[in-house]
Amino acid sequence: MRLHQVLLLPLGILHDCLPIQGYKRKPYFVASWFVCGGALLAMSMRPLPPPYYCRQPNGDYDMHLPPCNPGIHAEKNWYVFPLCVLVAGVQMGVVAGEGLLLQYSKSEPVAFRGQMKAEFTIVTMAGSVTSSAVIGIFMNGKEYLGTFDWGLSFNGLMTVCLVITALMIPISLLCVYEPKRMGQPSCRTHFQSSWKLVKNRGVSSVLLFAFVNQFFASISTTAAPMVRSQWAGVKVLQQQLFLIGSTVMMMVATWIYKVCLLQTSWRKALMVAIVTVTLCDAVPTFLAVFGIVRDQYFYLGEEVVGAVPSTALALVTNLMIIELSEPGLEGLCYGLIGTLMNASQPVSTALSNQLFGLFRPSLSELQNYIADTLSFRATVAWSYVLTYVASLLGMCALPLIPRQKSDAQKWKKESRSSPILASFVLAIPSLSLPYGVTVLLLASQPQTACLRWVGGPGCQHFT
């Protein structure tokens, strides 16, 4: 689903360039809820097929027996398409909201600029806490690897979301304030202003950092889901409870950053955040891999501790966007840096599939985790070592970003134009997206998922 986040750039340009009745954000808010509502309505009306694995009398899945519904993979596309539409609608609303927030943030005094974004982030996290609580309680049935004998069905969840979406349409119309703009420049003038902004070497270097840092951070071992579910024994309820705890911790960390650390060096904050996240993740992971501590509560504790540096990473990126944005180009600025960050994810995911697909025994085979041999533990551990090394390599890109707000404004004003660097930065999503889409689509189909260059073991029917 992350591929839809690459739509941030075209959506940002659309909002900036094509206002409706003088409004650049509000009409797209309303349109996004209609798109989401249509997708949710479709999914709420179609029942799920029987599960892949057979279910025992107590409701648990029996993963040791042959599957009861091996053909379920052929039905996934019906659910993938409406989910894609749903995520696209969400992204449309996100771009509109972030563009309007950037417009508000630019009016803040320099010394306090970023406080509004921090407060908005806290409110957003409060919504995330609510959704996690709903999922943790009502989706904790055994059919979703939970512990309850009861639970909300998939169709029921889609219906609840549909009702919320319907309520958001009048709220967006009546409660969202956006100043009306008169005398909108032509699209040609808009694109000329956009190209002038991107050509600035200071802006281009920050955009390049967004891609490089996110690329290394997104390289992840394919063993992670199995380690979590099979070795650490993480259940849905506990996972959601700890997710709530980590989100609350992120809210507290955001408030502390807003009050005490708003003037801290961005480079130092990101460096400390990257190192801390890596260390916090490594300790419970290696203890679980080698069978020393395989407890879901200890394993999930990392998510709460790691929430603080993760918050710093996200908030600093948003503060840089505020400083880089230009009046009338808020959607472009948010969409551009968001697209560069997310364009790296399909490539890093594809690279992860290919790289970790070379490990033997296979990191994706359930039977290897059930056998739990010492040699396989070592294989899984080395895959995590490679993941953490890649994450730390992202710090090499820190010199590409300014140290603080004043430095960012100086870069934007004094840096000379660089059409070559700007063209290189814009070429990144143009080249990485088709590659990532191709690999991910091939990996999602049973007939081609076995190809080695997409991370499979090799296909005998192609040899």
Residue 459 belongs to some domain of the structure: no
Using alpha carbons, select from 269, 277, 312, 273 the residue that is nearest to residue 402: 269
| CATH number of the domain to which 171 belongs | 1.20.1250.20
pLDDT, average across residues 146-155: 78
CA atoms within 13 A on the CB side of 149: 3
Q: Which residue has the higher pLDDT, 353 or 456?
A: 353
Residue 62, strand partner residues: 54
| CA-to-CA dists, residue 456 to 221, 227, 230, 362, 373, angstroms | 14, 19, 21, 9, 22
Q: Which helix (H) or strand (E) holds 61?
A: strand 61-62
pLDDT in tens, 377-400: 999 999 999 999 998 998 998 998
The number of angstroms, rounded, from the C-alpha of 413 to the middle of its chain's C-alpha atoms is: 32
Residue 354 belongs to some domain of the structure: yes
Q: Which of 184-193, 205-214, 411-420 has the highest mean pLDDT?
A: 205-214
183 φψ region: left (φ > 0), alpha (ψ -120 to 50), beta (else): left
Overall size of the chain counted in residues: 463
Tokens of 315: 């908030």
Query: pLDDT class for 130, splitting at 50, 70, 90?
Result: confident
Residue 426 belongs to some domain of the structure: yes
pLDDT, average across residues 355-380: 90
Residue 32 belongs to some domain of the structure: yes
Task: Return the DSSP state at 232.
Answer: S
Residue 457 belongs to some domain of the structure: no
DSSP 329-394: -HHHHHHHHHHHHHHHHHHHHHHHHHHHTTSSS-TT-HHHHHH--HHHHHHHHHHHHHHHHHHHHG
Residue 61, strand partner residues: 55
pLDDT in tens, 45-83: 888 877 777 777 776 777 777 777 777 777 777 887 888
Q: Which residue has the tokens 């970003």?
A: 401
- The lowest-confidence range among 65-69, 236-240, 330-334, 451-455 is 451-455
pTM of the model: 0.77
pLDDT at 31 (0 to 100): 93
pLDDT at 310 (0 to 100): 64
Residue 127 belongs to some domain of the structure: yes
pLDDT at 262 (0 to 100): 81
pLDDT at 1 (0 to 100): 42
Using alpha carbons, select from 97, 77, 83 the residue that is nearest to residue 157: 83
- Angle in degrees, 0-180, between the axes of helices 405-414 and 201-217, rounded to the nearest 10: 130
Query: pLDDT class for 342, splitting at 50, 70, 90?
Result: confident
Tokens of 286: 């290696």
Residue 460 belongs to some domain of the structure: no
Contact 125, 251 (CB under 8 A): yes
pLDDT at 169 (0 to 100): 93
Q: Which residue has the higher pLDDT, 139 or 199?
A: 199
The number of angstroms, rounded, from the C-alpha of 215 to the middle of its chain's C-alpha atoms is: 12
SS3 416: coil
Q: What angle do CA 93, 95, 97 make, to 5 degrees?
A: 70
Instruction: Please give the biggest Cα pair distance in the chain.
Output: 71
Q: Which residue has the higher pLDDT, 29 or 308?
A: 29
Does 140 score more than 80 pLDDT? no
Query: pLDDT class for 170, splitting at 50, 70, 90?
Result: very high
pLDDT in tens, 266-277: 888 888 888 888
Total structural domains in the chain?
Answer: 1
Using alpha carbons, select from 34, 21, 27, 115 the residue that is nearest to residue 331: 27
Does 452 score more than 70 pLDDT? no
List, as own/partner pairs, every contact residues 266-270 make where C-beta atoms lie below 8 angstroms and the sequence separation is at least 24, other chains included. 266/316, 266/319, 266/320, 266/401, 266/402, 266/403, 266/404, 267/398, 267/399, 267/401, 267/403, 269/312, 269/316, 270/213, 270/312, 270/313, 270/316, 270/395, 270/398, 270/401
d(CA 287, CA 280): 12
Average pLDDT value over all residues in the chain: 82
Using alpha carbons, select from 172, 168, 159 the residue that is nearest to residue 39: 159
pLDDT, average across residues 397-424: 85
Domain with 27, as residue range(s), is 2-179+186-451
Tokens of 113: 């600029």
Tokens of 211: 């891609």
Residue 420 belongs to some domain of the structure: yes
pLDDT at 337 (0 to 100): 80
Does 320 score more than 60 pLDDT? yes
- Give the ranges where 394-444 is alpha helix by DSSP (H): 405-414, 419-444
The pLDDT > 90 percentage for the chain reads 14
CA dihedral 404, 405, 408, 410 (to 10 degrees): -110
Residue by residue, what is the 3-state secondary structure of 192-205?
HHHHHHHHEHHHHH
d(CA 49, CA 382): 38
Query: pLDDT class for 457, splitting at 50, 70, 90?
Result: low
